[in-house]
Amino acid sequence: MHGAGNDFMVVDDRALTFPLDDAAFVESIAARRTGVGCDGILLIQPSEIADFRMRFINPDGGEVDMCGNGARCIARRAFDLGLAPYEMTIETGAGLVQAAVQGKMIRLELTDPTDLRLGLEAGLEWAVDFVNTGVPHAVAWVVDLQALELPKVGRILREHVLFAPAGTNADFAKVEADGTLSVRTYERGVEAETLACGTGAAAVAVIAAEKGWVNLPVTVHCAGGFDLVIDSVQGRTSLTGGAVTVFEGTVEYGNRV
């Protein structure tokens, strides 16, 4: 599936058979040239406190608490499988989140942003801010997004001492003349640029609104050419966009399918 160009393998793991402890297997199927290829692997698992539990595994085999576009995709898949109603609750490592199927769109209410830090002295040429929208995001405000050598500058910000030891996702953003936002994201765990990042789009919008640069709801233009809409209703940040099934198949692992 993909959500705004952010692509995932979505696995029905209600039987809890996915080999989470086998990082080499995860890396092999996540590899784009020699495996299926994806920005991350989403597992649908049982939950005692929500309609289902989402586990998110990065291509390097590491697990993270939350992924906005991933949660929208898994919500779409769970609804299509009849596992959840059109308004659903998802258990994530970052806490419970709410999602709703709205035709072709999926709206996701994120956990409350935390650890907002503005005007960080990062020793870089750009102004840098930080917020956690389920996972950590450092946001650098730039003039020309397309001129960035993102693999290089993204790695610098992702590994900056300010965010040690865990590191951060690195977003490079711009406020457009029409009041919308544009963003490119270097994702921790993927260790590369992704075509979209839901929690990154939310981080950019939350910070820009806090600075008084934009009003919510605001459209965020992602690197892959798709848009996400970030809003805040009664203090809860929401993320809305498409979630599309690209193909279905099976992957074998020993005697498991």
Catalytic center residues = 67, 197
* DSSP character at residue 256: B
Tokens 């951060």, residue?
168
Q: Using CA atoms, how far apart are residues 14 and 132, in angstroms rounded to an integer?
A: 29
Mode of pairing for the β-strands spanning 218-221 and 192-194: unpaired
Strand partners, 175: 181
Q: Using CA atoms, how far apart are residues 223 and 87, in angstroms rounded to an integer?
A: 29
Q: Using CA atoms, how far apart are residues 170 and 199, in angstroms rounded to an integer?
A: 11
Beta strands in the chain (DSSP E): 2-3, 6-12, 40-45, 52-57, 63-64, 87-92, 95-102, 105-109, 114-120, 127-132, 136-141, 169-175, 181-187, 192-194, 218-221, 227-233, 236-242
Report in angstroms the alpha-carbon separations of 233 from 108, 112, 163: 12, 12, 30
Closest by alpha carbon to 71, among 109, 39, 102, 34?
Answer: 109
Structure tokens at 186: 């270097």
The angle formed by the CA atoms of residues 193, 194 and 200, to the nearest 5 degrees, is 100
